[in-house]
Amino acid sequence: MKKIIETYGIPIKLWLEDIDSSALAQAGNLANLPFSCMHIAIMPDSHVGYGMPIGAVLATRDVIIPNAVGVDIGCGMCAVRTSLQEINNESLKKVIGKIRKVVPLGFKSHTSPQDIFLMPRLDKKKMVTVSEQYNKARHQLGTLGGGNHFIEIQLGDDGFIWIMIHSGSRNLGHKVASHHNKIACRLSDSWHVQIPEKWQLAFLPTDTREAREYAAEMNYCVEFALANRKLMMHRVQESLLDVVGPVKFDKLINKSHNFAAWEQHGGKDVLIHRKGATRARKGELGLIPGSQGTASYIVRGLGNDESFHSCSHGAGRRLSRKKAIRKLDFDAEKKRLDHLGVIHTIRHKKDLDEAPGAYKDIEKVMKLQADLVKIEVKLRPLAVVKG
């Protein structure tokens, strides 16, 4: 931990040396909520979000806040170590080509619904919004999406080739989050607790029907996001097998970083909201990606109580998407990736929103959270697929 700010309702504990003013203002709003408890934890990859900073952890009593989870509910990482110890560039390009054929990218979906048995179990009575979006979700199962979502083939310092995937609940999570946030906003006057509308932190008391319905649909989206990553991982593995022949795959490591769950901290049962933050209980494996030109990490949690057993979910943005496109030098960013030998996705100026220069230095981010996680494997990118 680098700093504690104690000028708000509860302390704000920071794992970074500086934080932009907008993200700090949002953290201050969280700390001033009457139902926030203990402290606010801000991870080293933190930057401004909607209502709550990305890379923040919030504990509440008796309320759940849809915007403190975000619109990509259940978004997270998964990774698998393969038995391969090397792969040449020609094979990598063939694998990437096959992946692009079997995993729809960006706004694309499958033309036909995916196997219903791959979908999480649905309780239609408790999950009205999910039920309405169910068929579309079946078409989006096993799809990557856009933004910072990626499929990466990496080489670990353990000597093995790894596969890593970052994706979430696609349009389903967005619909669920938007629907329940609107309900929370509409009912805000009913709770007799006045939260400024501009804070974007409308809440639902946990003893209400509305909160139970949101929690049920949120948890469904977390399960759907995992099912989505699993199906993509299966198809990436098939693509690798088609190109290089027999390969063994280790057990999947999976970590979500957008969710809310009841946990015990400081001897109290509290509702922990993680938005762009990864759970890191003592001994628990996790994943922290860099950018498509920098290292990613397999880590093991240290169970730090001060961070609510959490760590960063990545490097974190240094520049917004628009600023990255406007300010970064296309030739320099492309040359940097070419020099590293990475099969990357920087083809046009508009791709600069996902260039390495748009992100914080992952090495500094890892040093700032040395009290949160222990590094197990360092992974170097070889080839990247993005939406």
Coil, strand or helix at 288: strand
Backbone phi and psi for residue 259, each to the nearest 5 degrees, phi listed first: -170, 170
- The strand pairing partners of 156, in sequence order, are 379
Burial 274-289 (b: 16+ CB within 10 A, else e): bbbbbbbeeebbbbbb
Contact between residue 154 and residue 161 where contact means Cβ atoms under 8 Å apart: yes
- By DSSP bridging, strand 150-156 and strand 373-386 are antiparallel
Query: Is 149 in the active site?
Result: no
What is the amino acid identity at position 330? F
Backbone phi and psi for residue 357, each to the nearest 5 degrees, phi listed first: -65, -15
What is the amino acid identity at position 236? V
Residue position matching structure tokens 């934080």: 19
From the candidates 139, 273, 309, 313, give the one annotated as an active-site residue.
313
Token pair recorded at residue 354: 């996902």
Distance CA 124, CA 134 (A): 10
Q: Exposure of 269 by Cβ count < 10 A (0-12 exposed, 13-18 middle, 19+ buried)? A: exposed
Contact between residue 383 and residue 152 where contact means Cβ atoms under 8 Å apart: yes
Cα 252 to its chain centre, rounded Å, is 17
The dihedral through the CA atoms of 180, 185, 191, 197 has a sign that is: positive
Helices (H), the chain: 21-32, 89-102, 128-140, 170-186, 209-244, 321-327, 330-340, 362-368
One DSSP character per residue, 315-377 reads S-BSS-HHHHHHHS-HHHHHHHHHHHT-B----SGGGGGGSGGGB--HHHHHHHTTTTEEEEE
Residues that are catalytic: 313
